[in-house]
Chain A
């Protein structure tokens, strides 16, 4: 898909060497990236028997959607569980996203604009949080949740997900605010707006792309989170998708088509979100690290 043979041949062999080398590299990279995903999809439309053959059926001889209908059918117990995991993931991810944005927007704005003492220290402590792995916080947060009586609730996850959602939100949004000209607010202030009005009515509407990017980011992070969910939740009806799938298939270790179908369904929402909004997403990520 990367090759274009229609170009007129050029004499400058050296440049073409680099170009064709680059294309060959991209083709190899594409195979590395895409083949595992293709194999996931091909496996998910086989029957359990067809998947367990050697040599394998490279192409499913009798493709079937049985794994998908089983997982998505609310009438059988497998489908009920799976749909409930899906709904749980949706609830937790949405709440996390809303909170991260609501708390992150004013904080990022303050870090970008104000000169209060301790600003740099606080900002970098926020950034440093994302250097620490979840596992370190697991035991103390578990104790904290037990103390607050939140074990086995979605609130425990939402609160915890803010530990990585919020620093990221602040970092991403600060990058956006840094690039919004301060003159706009100064003009508003001259026209009699208070500082808060200038923030709410002038700057916030301009930062909508940044807010969208932050929201996708928090959502994907929460949707994919596994460790906290695996530790804080024990009741089956509370589980989110990543843990639900793991528990579920530790009991059915040979149902690989089902496992691949579940992995596929779990990936669909985040991949769609990413593909639809990738322009915001990519820009926001690099805004903090690359100065334009």
Chain B
């Protein structure tokens, strides 16, 4: 709306459909004033750190983080990562953590959204209660569940003993076999409301006539869902799953505060491992190299995210 208000000059007349990029930038120069403050902040706190991380990953930096004394070591940090046994353990944990959290959160959220779609007494209250775990601090969540899982006085152990399912309270988070699953339960507790909110909003866009028409044609509840609702929600579902996957991949507080990655790395995921390498063991270079690898993974996911979003936009414009 603002691009064509200036007087037309010779160059533009020569090629009115496709003015040069500099021309366009100049013509729209006032537009940039609106985004300038945002860009400046983003440059300081985002572009600079990214540049710095990449640089650090090629150096060995002393524990005190004295940058003047860093030594260039090429790809050694990357080699150190791929050669360590912990790397494969942590990667496997991360995959299990991300996939299990994402899939279960999505299914629970989808089910809740469907069940809450029809109006009934107390629906608003129920919905609000279900969303609360997503709103409160993950620090509070970690402590609440740490107490629930407590090996001597935890309520879960007590219930199991009371029901006669165990002789004495099981030790769920100090046990290599059960710790990851126990933490995933906590993570899902906190993540499924997000899927629920997104899909509830998605459900409101499914046209009622379409569903009614399906019922008139004799479709069962399941058929109406599978052939009408489910395809209609594909766009929202893709975005939700991607956002869940990214946020689960990036989890830190729950594993860090509940177990610190232990026992014997059984609940370390990439992010907690990077944090421990950097701030626990001062291995800045290796931590930075991990971060660069993480960038690459996330950029790949981000590519699909942007594509899913732009696909939505096109569909929205066409409909």
Contacts and interface: CB of A to CB of B under 8 A. Distances in A.
B28 A117 contact: yes
Chain B interface size range: 35 or more
A132 B292 CA distance: 11
A103 B132 contact: no
Contacts of B84: none
Interface in B118-133: 118, 120-122, 125-126, 128-133
Interface string B261-283: 00000000001001100110000
Contact of B252 (A129, A135, A289): A135
5 contacts: A1-B125, A33-B129, A107-B34, A124-B306, A289-B239
A143 interface: yes
A249 B139 CA distance: 12
A43 B3 CA distance: 63
Q: Sort A-B residue pairs by CB-CB distance and give the 10 closest, nearest first.
A: A286-B201, A291-B316, A110-B34, A140-B49, A133-B250, A22-B115, A107-B38, A140-B52, A116-B28, A263-B140
Nearest to B116: A26
Given A159-B44, A283-B201, A290-B205, 15 more contacts: A26-B126, A54-B152, A106-B34, A107-B37, A109-B34, A116-B31, A122-B39, A129-B42, A135-B275, A136-B274, A159-B45, A182-B1, A241-B137, A259-B147, A286-B201
B141 to A, nearest CB: 8
Contacts of B240: 289
Contact of B52 (A104, A127, A143, A195): A143
Contacts of A241: 137
Interface of B: 1-3, 21, 24-25, 28, 30-35, 37-39, 41-42, 44-46, 48-50, 52-53, 56, 65, 67, 108, 111-112, 114-116, 118, 120-122, 125-126, 128-133, 135-140, 143-145, 147-148, 150, 152-153, 155, 158, 161-162, 169, 189, 197-198, 200-202, 204-205, 220-222, 236, 239-240, 246, 249-250, 252-253, 257, 271, 274-275, 278-279, 284, 287-288, 291, 294-295, 298-299, 301-302, 305-306, 309, 312-313, 315-316, 319
Interface stretch (A69-77, A205-213, A221-229): A221-229
A202 interface: no
Nearest to B123: A2
Given A116-B28, A226-B138, A260 B143 contact: yes
B236 A289 contact: yes
Most buried by A among B49, B130, B158: B49
A25 B107 CA distance: 12
Contact of B139 (A36, A224, A290): A224
A180 interface: no
Main secondary structure of the interface of A (DSSP, over half): helix
B40 to A, nearest CB: 9
A26 to B, nearest CB: 5
A67 to B, nearest CB: 13
Contact of A227 (B112, B125, B161, B252): B252
Nearest to A103: B37
A47 to B, nearest CB: 13
